[in-house]
Amino acid sequence: MVVSTTIDKYFYAFVNVNDDDNIQITSSDYRTFYRHNPNKAMLWDGPLALPRAILHHFGLRHGVSMFLASEIPPGTGLGSSSAVAVTIIKAISTACGLSLSRQKIAELACYIEIDKLGKPIGKQDQYAAAFGGLNVFAFTEEGVSVESLKVTPEVVQRLQENILLFFTGAARDSAQILSSQKRSTEKDEPQVIEALHAVREMAVEVKHCLEKGDLCCYGELLDLNWQNKKRFAPGITNSFIDECYALALEKGAIGGKVTGAGGGGFLMLYCEAPHRERVTEALEERGLHRMDFHFDTAGARVLMNAGLRLPNSRWETLRPQPLVVSGQTLAV
């Protein structure tokens, strides 16, 4: 079980249909380019594996040009890879004339990342990016349930103002940390299992705190969450992160955590108004950079559609037609 919200930092997919015999993908974040020959099988290994796996799933082999760009650096713990999956699926399915529900888009993104690509990740990021907003996601053997939090606009505004995001200046590959955590879980290592259960129970408490408007309680739970999260696997924290976190608490923050798998990326803090500037100044002196943001509730959506359609698993068009889709990243 997790409580999460999406923020106004987006991943964009620009899809263009043409009469070329190949598929081309350009990524501004990774500064890389891929061109697919339709006479060869579409494989999903190496650079740009995720968009290639999605194109393979939809049976596309020619006549598509795709440009990908993100407002957030990859590997910074804000759910960017799953926002990529959700955004591209939203774009391609729309172009195919399919009207997939948010649930279906999230399920397909999970399938592509976890089953097809074999990533050692969970499902919370895909669901957050697909649905948007402040939600509780519960994961069971029967499936995933989605519940929108019953929080007043005033509480949402205070929560948005009091959550601070600081970029530590370090991106990381989460696979090593998550693979270690997965192995420990499969081996039923007591320390990891106990910490996972504790974090799950905290999600229930966080839900109650937010719905009651008790944000100080939420901040305290963040700190407790972080102490347990550090038990999941080696590499989740380091001496620099620990020093910055301790400094933030000393200057008035109530609690916080490193977003995503850990090891770098963004340090998220809960800090009320009287202490925000003092915390910001102290961490920026240590080389961290605060990123302003706002909550966003829309989820992945089409920004512009010039009428793309893909009947019978083939791109058919009289002239080039653009499609632009954005998907959110998540913070909490």
Q: Which residue ranges form the domains of the chain, and what is each CATH number? A: 2-133+297-330 (3.30.230.10), 153-293 (3.30.70.890)
- Report the distance separating Cα 136 and Cα 207, nearest Å: 7
pLDDT for res 316: 41
**82 dihedral zone (left: phi>0; alpha: psi -120 to 50; beta):** alpha
Residue from 56, 55, 87, 57 nearest 70 by CA: 87
- Tell me the per-residue pLDDT of 262-311, one tens digit each, with 9 for 90 and over: 667 899 999 999 999 999 999 999 999 999 999 999 999 999 887 656 54
The stretch 183-204 carries a mean pLDDT of: 74
Confidence of residue 4 (pLDDT cuts 50, 70, 90): very high
Maximum distance among all alpha carbons in the chain? 63
- Report the distance separating Cα 47 and Cα 258, nearest Å: 27
Sign of CA pseudo-dihedral 235, 236, 237, 241: positive
Least confident of 39-48, 141-150, 170-179: 170-179
Instruction: Choose between 177 and 165: higher pLDDT.
Output: 165
The CA distances from residue 132 to 94, 111, 300, in Å, are: 18, 19, 7
CA atoms within 13 A on the CB side of 326: 16
Confidence of residue 250 (pLDDT cuts 50, 70, 90): very high
Tell me if 224 sits within 8 A of 240, measured CB to CB.
no
Angle at 299 between CA 155 and CA 138, to 5 degrees: 70
pLDDT for res 263: 67
Residue 320 has pLDDT above 50, yes or no: no
- Residue 277 has phi, psi (to 5 degrees) of -70, -35
Total residue count of the chain as it appears in this document: 332
CB under 8 A, 24+ apart: contacts of 56-62:
57/108, 57/112, 57/116, 58/92, 58/93, 58/96, 58/310, 58/313, 59/313, 60/23, 60/92, 60/310, 60/313, 60/315, 61/23, 61/36, 62/20, 62/21, 62/22, 62/23, 62/38, 62/315
Confidence of residue 91 (pLDDT cuts 50, 70, 90): very high
Provide the annotated active-site residues: 125
pLDDT for res 311: 45
pLDDT for res 329: 58
pTM over 0.85: yes
pLDDT for res 35: 92
- Report the distance separating Cα 170 and Cα 309, nearest Å: 41
pLDDT for res 180: 57
- Tell me the per-residue pLDDT of 211-226, one tens digit each, with 9 for 90 and over: 999 999 999 999 998 9
- Report the distance separating Cα 127 and Cα 113, nearest Å: 13
Q: How many CB atoms lie within 10 A of CB 162?
A: 20
Residue 39 has pLDDT above 90, yes or no: no
The stretch 95-114 carries a mean pLDDT of: 93
Considering the chain, what percentage of its residues have pLDDT values greater than 90? 59
pLDDT for res 197: 76
* Identity of the highest mean pLDDT range in 4-18, 234-248, 275-289: 275-289
pLDDT for res 287: 95
pLDDT averaged over every residue in the chain: 86
